[in-house]
A and B are shown apart, each in its own frame.
Chain A
Amino acid sequence: MSLIEIRDVVAGYGGAPILNGVNIAIEQSDIGVIVGPNGAGKSTTLKAVFGLLKVESGAISFAGEDITNSLPDKLVPKGLSFVPQEKNVFTSMSVEENLEMGAFTRNDDFTATLEWVYGMFPPLLEKRHQKAGELSGGQRQMVAMGRALMSQPRLLLLDEPSAGLSPRYVIEIFEQIVKVNKAGVGILMVEQNARQALAFASKGFVLANGQNRFTGTGAELIADPEVARSFLGGEAKR
């Protein structure tokens, strides 16, 4: 049984459903990457998992427990965290306060986790008392991920972590995601930089029109000529 299982999920924003039967399953050791064209339902899938929109049919289970339509304040203590694509830091609060907010659901002492997050993202330690709104895009993304890690999740959902970052930072953020995964946190992320992200994905999911089109390891998907032609912007280069 996988850590998270999304089975035949149909969901949307009230009108016609955006997701028409999405299936995703990954383990805690995995980095799962969801790719696909605009409007395919990539971000919507993450939001459906995190209870931010209503699942009309299908089921989502986490660590064997049904979490379909559970709300975030129930999901976070279970070990699930979400980093939205935009507005993912509290801009008027300091870096450290942002991280503390990630630990809101915890009643125990979280200083060790705080140290761990600072160890994972060293630039944040220097700027701990600076307002998150004053940081660069790359550093903000670190704050956002750090905040989500403060609840000690087993699975981290990331919505386009590289959006709006310069190419140098994109590589850096991807390296950090791999580091977080190596520390024992499962990753399920949506990415526009599909080829780059699939390169380090242990599982890849290509969505189109709210349905799975291809599923495989990251390497398999990159090597698949049809995936490359339709979704990765051309044949794999040698």
Chain B
Amino acid sequence: MNELVFFFNTVLISGVVLGSIYAIGAIGVTLIFGILRFAHFAHGDMMTMGGFIAFLLAMAASAMGIVAPVPTGFVVLPIAMVIAAGIALGLDKVFYAPLRQRGARPVTLLIASIGVTLIIQGLIRLFFGAGNYSFFDTETKQLFKIPVPIEGVTRTINFTMPQLLMVICTVIAVLALHLFLTRSRLGKAMRAMADNADLAQVSGINTKLVVRVTWIIAGALACLAGTMLALDVSLKPDLAFNIVLPIFAAAIVGGLGQSYGAIAGGFLIGFAETLAIFNWAILLRPFKGMVPFELPTQLAIVPTEYKLTVAFVILVVVLLWRPTGIFRGAST
């Protein structure tokens, strides 16, 4: 049973946390694709940037002596999200909007977004160098150990305060987005424009307003996802490189343009990654001596260094089965 608790701790809890981060990131990618029809490559860097904004605010808050019962990173998160949303709007106005006005094709916007990636990364390096930063240099991560009420189980279910708050934040964000998309006039207009942009225009929907709202939501969610990632591991300027690929895979697997698909895709890939790098030999340990052959001590599906490949295997398998993703998204 101890082995199962270990499995729960390393696979399920990490999977939920990683899945939350991927899902929140992928929603942004899928919303931008749905409305503007291009793959926003700079999304990973918008996440990194959001993480650094939250980091700066958290440092400022602790310098001012603000102490909160939860990690400072979460306290400053709403402010960081507002700032990140503003920056996302600015990025659109400066880089993407002029291209759209000239009738640029999606591939041109994609290339522009690679440029934006480089700009954001360059700026972050300019101010922060290439080092690693942690939210928890000055404060500690509160650890919860929950005993399992079963005879003979000595291991406890372990998770940290940031992990718990991350899951709560994800649930709130997803619920808020769901209510926005299904109840509000603007949210419905967003869905309408993603469904059929020409008809949305003909209906008199203010498409420019919808585009602005899309950037605000995508920017704020990128900041949330980036901060969560930074809180879970650490913050570094090239965080995006490891995150942008699984996030795109999650968005595509879920069906491009489908918000609920992106959430499903995010969790699918999050769990797949933790399951793939889990050392399954640990679960076999209780059977030691019961079988006539030597049990392996290392039995992971892929080594940790190759974690990134998992997302692509899933992508290939899902697309073979459903070429437009689980939730049947756009194919172009």
Interface residues, chain A, CB within 8 Å of chain B?
50, 52, 72-73, 75-77, 82, 84, 87-93, 97, 100-102, 104-105, 147-148, 151
Query: Contacts A97-B188, A101-B192 known; A89 to B204 CB distance under 8 Å?
Result: no
A104 to B220: give the CA distance in the assembly, Å. 25
> Residues 182-220 of chain B: 1 if any A CB is under 8 Å from the residue's CB, otherwise 0?
000100110110011011111111110000000000000
11 A-B residue pairs with Cβ-Cβ distance under 8 Å, sorted by A, are A72-B201, A73-B204, A73-B206, A84-B202, A89-B196, A89-B199, A90-B191, A92-B195, A93-B192, A97-B188, A104-B206
Q: Are B203 and A88 in contact (CB under 8 A)?
A: no
B202 to chain A, nearest CB (A): 5
Q: Does A151 lie within 8 Å of B204, measured CB to CB?
A: yes
| Interfacial chain A residues near B200, Cβ < 8 Å | 90, 101
Residues of A within 8 A of B198 (CB): 84, 87
Other-chain residue from B191, B195, B196, B203 in contact with A104 (beta carbon distance below 8 A): B203
A93-B204 in contact (CB<8A): no
Return the 5 tightest CB-CB contacts between A and B, nearest first.
A76-B204, A105-B204, A90-B195, A104-B205, A92-B195
Collect the chain A residues with CB atoms within 8 Å of residue B196's CB: 87, 89-91
Question: Please, which residues of chain B bring their CB within 8 A of the CB of A151?
Answer: 204
Whether A72 lies near B191 (C-beta < 8 A) is no
- Complex: how many Å from CA A50 to CA B191? 23
Other A-B contacts than A84-B199, A87-B199, A90-B191, 15 sampled, CB-CB below 8 A, are A72-B202, A73-B201, A76-B204, A87-B196, A90-B196, A90-B199, A90-B200, A92-B195, A93-B191, A93-B195, A97-B191, A97-B192, A100-B185, A101-B200, A104-B189
Closest to B208 in A: A73
Q: Which residues of B contact A102 (CB under 8 A)?
A: 203
Kindly list chain B residues whose C-beta atoms are within 8 Å of the C-beta of A100: 185, 188
Contact indicator B204/A77 (Cβ below 8 Å): yes
A104/B199 contact (C-beta < 8 A), A93-B188, A93-B191, A97-B188 known = no
Partner of A50, one of B188, B195, B202, B205: B202
Also in contact, A92 and B191, with CB within 8 A (given A73-B206, A87-B196, A104-B185): yes
Interface SS, B side? helix
The docked-state distance in angstroms from the alpha carbon of A137 to that of B201 is 22
On B, residues with C-beta under 8 Å from A are: 185, 188-189, 191-192, 195-196, 198-207
Q: How far is the CA of A93 from the CA of B193 in the complex (A)?
A: 11
Q: Please report the C-alpha to C-alpha distance between residue A73 and residue B205 in the assembled complex, in whole angstroms.
A: 6
Is the CB–CB distance between A101 and B202 below 8 Å? no
Specify which chain B residues have a CB less than 8 angstroms from the CB of A105 in the assembled complex: 204
Across the interface, do A91 and B195 meet the contact criterion of CB distance under 8 Å? Answer: yes
Chain B neighbourhood of A50, CB < 8 A: 202
Q: Which of B201, B204, B206 has the most CB of A within 10 A?
A: B204
Residue of B nearest to A88 (CB): B199
Cβ A101 vs Cβ B188 within 8 A:
yes
List chain A residues, Cβ under 8 A from B195: 90-93
Residues of B within 8 A of A73 (CB): 201, 204-207
On whether the beta carbons of A75 and B199 are closer than 8 Å, the reply is no
Nearest chain A CB to B328's CB is how many angstroms away? 9
Closest to A82 in B: B202
Contacting residues, chain A, for B201 (C-beta < 8 A): 72-73
Residues in chain A near residue B185, CB distance under 8 A: 100, 104
A52 to B189, CA, bound (A): 20
Q: CA separation between A84 and B203, bound complex, in Å?
A: 10
Give the Cβ gap from B179 to chain A, nearest Cβ, in Å: 15
Residues from chain B with a CB closer than 8 A to the CB of A93 are 188, 191-192, 195
Query: Measured between alpha carbons, how far is A102 from B202 in the docked complex, in Å?
Result: 9
Residues in chain B near residue A82, CB distance under 8 A: 202
Q: Give Cα A72–Cα B191 distance, bound, in whole angstroms.
A: 19
Which residues in B have their C-beta under 8 angstroms from that of A89? 196, 199
Give the CA-CA distance A147 to B203 in the complex, in Å: 8
Write the chain B residue with the least CB distance to A151: B204
A89 to B189, CA, bound (A): 13
Name the A residues within 8 Å of B206 (CB-CB): 73, 104
Q: How far is the CA of A148 from the CA of B203 in the complex (A)?
A: 7
CA distance A77 to B206 in the complex (A): 12
Residue of B nearest to A75 (CB): B204
Smallest beta-carbon distance B310→chain A, Å: 30
A102 shortest CB reach to chain B, Å: 6
**Most chain A CB neighbours (cut-off 10 Å) among B191, B202, B206:** B202
Closest to A90 in B: B195
Provide the bound-state CA to CA distance between A72 and B185, in Å. Answer: 18
Tell which of A89, A90, A100, A102 has the most Cβ of chain B within 10 Å: A90
A149 → chain B, closest Cβ, in Å?
A: 12
